[in-house]
Amino acid sequence: MGKILVTGGAGYIGSHTCVDLLNSGYEVIVLDNLENSSKESLKRVESITGKKIDFISGDVRDKNILNKVFKENSIDSVIHFAGYKAVGESTEFPLKYYENNVGGTISLLEVMSDYKIKNIVFSSSATVYGDPETVPISEDFPLKPYNPYGKTKRMVEMILEDIYESDNSWNIGLLRYFNPVGAHKSGLIGEDPKGIPNNLTPYITQVAVGKLEKLSVFGNDYPTKDGTGVRDFIHVNDLASGHVKALEKINKNPGLFICNLGTGRGYSVLEVLSAFEKACKKDIDYSFEKRRPGDIAQCYADTNFAESFLGWKAQYSIEDMAEDAWRWQQKNPDGYNKD
């Protein structure tokens, strides 16, 4: 079994996936520039698994580093997480997102081609679907990403589709995630956003722990059960196991496949809040604000293909997600203490 290169492996989803890879017997090399992550997460992955990770500090846009990594290691496959991921920031700084998310992937693919490494799992996103006309969303839905972040994800998918079209010896998994939540049961690794969180659940836990004053709920007039936005929240451990399943599939030469990773059900903002209040055993202060531009009413996955093709199904409930996220926040009020 060759080594797996995990780009962006020190990040939230990357670190949890490293745990699953190591526990499944893979050797792991992480390449991460630590711009939006911490090396501490990998130390903790090692303590959870009792196994070693080879860490290389570097950027996927840097071909010199990539060449060195591929030259010095017998790499079997790549899981590509590295990229910027804040929707709001992407609207403000689109060039930064195109240059990093698309440019970085092109550098990576060029070096992979040079070394004839043709197995890659790409971290894509449900944002490629835009505002769906109906739910649940299956993989063949029209693709209408509505912000630069989502467009960079779709562009990379298109690049990978074109590579496969030109050379069928590639094996490529495009995993479209819905909304990752939660943390490892140990409370050692979890989501550690820099500054004020963009995502709902770290925001809720930071209000609960007293770091932030109250939660802003954007929009209470959507055509949903309680007026708040509905999303498919998926436990990060489920997401991690989806990558291991995708890697197993890639080793069987499936060509190119596209797969949603979600739970198949939508939770409203208020339902998520209520699950967190139960986990924290306290009320969480919130106020309604007007809708944010670009937000959609509801979005959740059709998971039939993931079940039949990958043999994968989400196992964790919204209660599990809330309990695990809260445990992480309590044990690590300041995240990985990057100061």
Among residues 12, 129, 149, 300, the one annotated as catalytic is: 149
> CA-CA distance, 154 to 145, in Å (whole number)?
7
> CA-CA distance, 26 to 21, in Å (whole number)?
5
Q: Would you call 149 a catalytic residue per the annotation?
A: yes
Q: Look-up: residue for tokens 């997600």?
A: 321
What type of residue sits at position 217? V
Judged on CB neighbours under 10 Å (0-12, 13-18, 19+), 106 is: middle
User: Which neighbouring-strand residues pair with 180?
Assistant: 234
Contact between 182 and 275 under an 8 Å Cβ cutoff? The reply is: no
Active site residues: 149
